[in-house]
Chain A
Amino acid sequence: MVGALNAALGDAMERDSKVLVFGEDVGRLGGVFRVTEGLFERFGPTRCFDTPLAESGIVGLAIGLALRGYRPVAELQFDGFSYPALDQVINQLAKYHLRSGGLVELGVVVRIPSFGRIGSPEHHSESPETYYAHTAGLRVVCPSAPADAYSMLREAVECPDPVIFLEPKQRYWAKQDLELPVRTEPFDHAVIRRAGDDVTLVAYGGAVAVALSAAEEAESQAHVGVEVVDLRSLSPIDFDTLVASVEKTGRCVVVHEAPRTLGVGAEVAAVIQERAFYHLEAPVLRATGFDTPYPPARLEAQWLPGVDRVLDAVEAVWSY
């Protein structure tokens, strides 16, 4: 996935000279995850550059560049380090289009390596999506596989709206044979990753792989047909695809790493009961992280929603 993201940035910069890539350590080092590797050498220090250690300033700089007509792609090095930039993201980036009476577009991409399961210290494994998805004016997207990573990042760069691009760190080393440039479904569409008739599993980012493993197990062990929906976009959420799946299966489980309370799962459950109430055979359940701070690395395997926790929820809705 790192290679796909890197290719997407390179191709976007090649195509449009207004595309600029910047952030902490994205230049000579190529980013701490090497997503920007080679861009500094290929496009020079005015198109791919290191900034001072200042997340709020990085987003502020991106806003100013966008006001001037540039297409900034800013990297905030880790999820937990995106929080110092919240004022610039929530009060400025998200609202500038409205504040300008629609006169300016804020085509800014903020890339944030996100989520856990990589054995990192504190603040390196956060699930920040709800903060962003709860803010009007931000598009929030999250690829789960390399092809989507390429296509969705290209689309994010071309989008006239601000896009929070959450990259699931645990999938950075995921492999997929690709012929680039690849274009997958539009980035605000959900996609059915695996068809099934009995239970709908909803996931995004790294949790999609967990959901797919759980689906295979449910099929082989209990002959339960599980459909896996990859949300891809968390704002807006493609409820049409989701509701169609639940209308077919009548059962739904949402999987995410983020703490349960007021997470994406809560919104999904609310909308499904609004729009598919008479199709439901069981309450919508959630297999998620807990309402605690993210655990120290040695405890994360127990804390995170793994295949077992997902299967427990699938079993519960199936036997309801």
Chain B
Amino acid sequence: MTNTSPGLSYPADMELWGIDEPLRVVGADGKRTGAADPRYPDDLGSEGLRRLLTDMVVTRRLDVELVRLQRQGQLALFSPCLGQEAAQVGVAAAMMPEDWLFPQYRELGMFVARGIDPVGIAMMWRGAYHGGRGLIEKKTMPMCIVVGAQVPHAAGYAMGVKLDGATEVVVAVMGDGALSEGDVHEAFNMATVFDLPCLFVVQNNQWAISVPPQTQTHSTTLAQKAVAYGMPGVRCDGNDVLATYSVTAESLRRIREGGGPMLVELVTYRRGPHTTSDDPTRYRDQAELEHWAALDPVDRYRRHLEGEGLWGEPEEEAVGKVAEEAAARLRAEVYDAPDPPVTELFDLVFSKPTKELEHQRAQLESSLTWNEP
């Protein structure tokens, strides 16, 4: 990683990259930005490079399916990630399987890239389970609805990793709005004071429901906030999956080697609504949407792989089939899925239900039996 901000000079613990222009290795035209850019992730190999596009295409297809399921009354709500596929897949692909992810809730691309069954994600949005299912098994904590609340958890977990002398890195993911939350400040502060193996990833998708970054902060960029905490900050083009992968991989390497926490801002755009209950036409222009649609991360990366001779008709056909199958399976398993028994709630309040909870469960159970036709 090289410093692309020659005008800025900071001490070693206040390194900043990408402030003037976000780091990227593939331009909007799909071509490499530099012929021999050392940040280009050659280590991925052609299979790894194709895998990124596969995950992005599958994510987009599942995203569409989840919106449809919501429109058909199968999900109570959904927060689409359209436009953020590169930022999400790039981060997750750079993580080691043993690294822990502390997500917010709009992280479908990360879940797909980590091999988490989308059915477990859909079941949260369906209103069947809090937090989702099948995440912890893939070293990913349950989805967190309170914005930024997961970030101090990541710091605490990272402290445990450090105490254990282990080499995992803990990745906390949040959006631009989260940086206004006190919990995020407290977590950044704790992580730097205690020098914890924690990577903070901000997906700056330009909108926190209806509020743009200029209303959230007077800082020009989000990455520069890292300076005040005494950690390195990187601003990266989040619609460039290879730059995202490369920046994340390099950050994780530095943290794993004891370099302390880092902050990465991924500049991207939420092209869909905040959730299926939102109407973004009330607060943003069509022109802005069109601007970002032209910078679509999936099209851009597909063009890039085509240009590199790594993608063509057969690959497109194969990935389309994978995506359709994934969407069909999701639909089949979510549509009219049976609800978990309501009595399960009583078993999960404490490690063992109290006498009062047993009593209340019995009360509910008897009323349910009574009401059965």
Q: Chain A residues near B159: list those with CB within 8 A.
A: 61, 64-65, 68
Q: How far is the CA of A231 from the CA of B349 in the complex (A)?
A: 21
Q: Does B351 contact A (CB under 8 A)?
A: yes
Tally chain B residues at the interface, Cβ within 8 Å: 39
Indicate if A91 sits at the interface (CB-CB under 8 A): yes
Q: A57 on the interface (CB 8 Å rule)?
A: yes
A84 and B348 alpha carbons, distance in the complex (Å): 26
B190 on the A face (CB < 8 A): yes
A63 within 8 A of B: yes
Kindly identify which residue among B161, B345, B356 contacts A236, using a CB–CB cutoff of 8 Å.
B356
| Chain A residues within an 8 Å CB radius of B158 | 64
**B157 beta carbon closer than 8 Å to chain A:** yes
> Are A88's CB and B149's CB within 8 A?
yes
A64 touching B155, Cβ below 8 Å: yes
Are the C-beta atoms of B156 and A65 separated by less than 8 Å?
A: yes
Question: Which of A67, A91, A99, A139 is B350 in contact with, Cβ under 8 Å?
Answer: A139
Q: Report yes or no: A70 in contact with B131, Cβ–Cβ below 8 A.
A: no
Q: Closest residue of chain B to A90, judged by CB?
A: B146
A192-244 residues with Cβ-Cβ distance < 8 A to B are 236-237, 239-240
B164 contact from A63, A64, A68, Cβ within 8 A: A68
| Pair B141/A67 contact, Cβ less than 8 Å | yes
Flag if B133 contacts A101 (CB, 8 Å): yes
Confirm or deny: B325 has a beta carbon within 8 angstroms of a beta carbon on chain A.
no
Q: Kindly state the separation between the CA atoms of A139 and B356 in the bound complex, as whole angstroms.
A: 13
List, in ascending order, chain A residues with CB within 8 A of B189's CB: 52, 54, 57
A62 with B156: CB separation less than 8 A: yes
Judge whether B182 is part of the interface by a CB distance below 8 angstroms. Answer: yes
A60 B160 Cβ-Cβ under 8 A: no
- Interface magnitude class on chain A: 35 or more
Chain B residue, CB-CB nearest to A136 = B349
Number of A-B contacts (CB under 8 A): 122
Assess the B355–A236 pair: CB atoms within 8 A: yes
Known: A51-B190, A97-B350, A102-B347. A87 touches B156 (CB 8 A): no
- From 330 to 361 in chain B, residues with beta carbon under 8 angstroms from any chain A beta carbon are 345, 347-351, 354-357
B residues in contact with A188, CB < 8 Å? 354
Q: Which residues of B contact A84 (CB under 8 A)?
A: 182
| A98 interfacial contact with B, CB 8 Å | yes
B160 / chain A contacts, CB cutoff of 8 Å: 64-65, 67-70
**Judging by beta carbons under 8 Å apart, are A137 and B193 in contact?**
no
- Residues from chain B with a CB closer than 8 A to the CB of A97 are 348-351
Contact with B along A70-114 (1 / 0, CB 8 A): 101000000000001001100110011111111111000000000
Contact B136 A105 (CB under 8 A): no
Q: Assess whether B186 is in contact with A60, with CB atoms less than 8 Å apart.
A: yes
Q: How far is the CA of A109 from the CA of B242 in the complex (A)?
A: 44
**Most chain B beta-carbon contacts within 10 A, residue among A61, A237, A240:** A61
Residues of A with C-beta under 8 A to B146: 87, 91-92
**Shortest CB distance B373–A (Å):** 30
Is the pair B187, A100 in contact by a Cβ cutoff of 8 Å? no
- Does B36 count as interface, using CB distance less than 8 angstroms? no
Residues of A within 8 A of B (CB): 46, 51-52, 54, 56-57, 59-70, 72, 84, 87-88, 91-92, 95-105, 136-137, 139, 160-161, 188, 236-237, 239-240
**Other CB < 8 Å A-B pairs besides A60-B183, A60-B187, A92-B149, 15 of them?**
A51-B190, A52-B189, A54-B190, A57-B152, A60-B152, A64-B156, A84-B182, A92-B146, A98-B348, A98-B349, A100-B136, A101-B129, A101-B348, A188-B354, A239-B356
